[in-house]
Amino acid sequence: LLLDEATSALDNTSEGIVQEAIDNARKGRTCLTIAHRLTTIKNSEKIAVVKSGRVHEEGQHEDLLRQQGLYYKLQRATEQSHNQQ
């Protein structure tokens, strides 16, 4: 299953509905998801953070947050953006 920005044009409510369907559809399958919205990849088994064409960090959501690297900074920026809306 290949998903390229599958929820990028959706509002938060619609994204949640579609994300739940995607989570169910990918069970037992290999799924490659390309996304800018971190909520889209949060539950992925493995997340690769790409910067300048190279894998900069990889791991699961919680592990990447603990590392406080680029993924952590992106997560914080996303949270701040949502808080301002």
1-21 pLDDT tens trace: 777 777 777 888 888 888 888
DSSP E strands in 19-72: the ranges are 32-34, 47-51, 54-59
Query: What pLDDT, on the 0 to 100 scale, is given for residue 62?
Result: 96
Query: What pLDDT, on the 0 to 100 scale, is given for residue 79?
Result: 82
Which residue range forms the structural domain that includes residue 78? 46-85
Q: Which residues contact 76 (CB under 8 A, 6 or more apart)?
A: none
**Is residue 30 located within the same domain as residue 57?**
no
Query: What pLDDT, on the 0 to 100 scale, is given for residue 85?
Result: 62
**Is residue 25 located within the same domain as residue 58?**
no
Radius of gyration of the chain (CA): 13
**Are residues 18 and 10 in contact, defined by beta-carbon separation less than 8 angstroms?**
yes
**Is residue 25 located within the same domain as residue 60?**
no
Query: What pLDDT, on the 0 to 100 scale, is given for residue 65?
Result: 96
| The total number of structural domains that make up the chain | 2
**Is residue 30 located within the same domain as residue 51?**
no
Is 40 among the domain residues? no
Give the pLDDT confidence of 27-83 residue by residue, as tens digits.
888 888 888 788 888 888 999 999 999 999 999 999 999 999 999 999 999 888 767
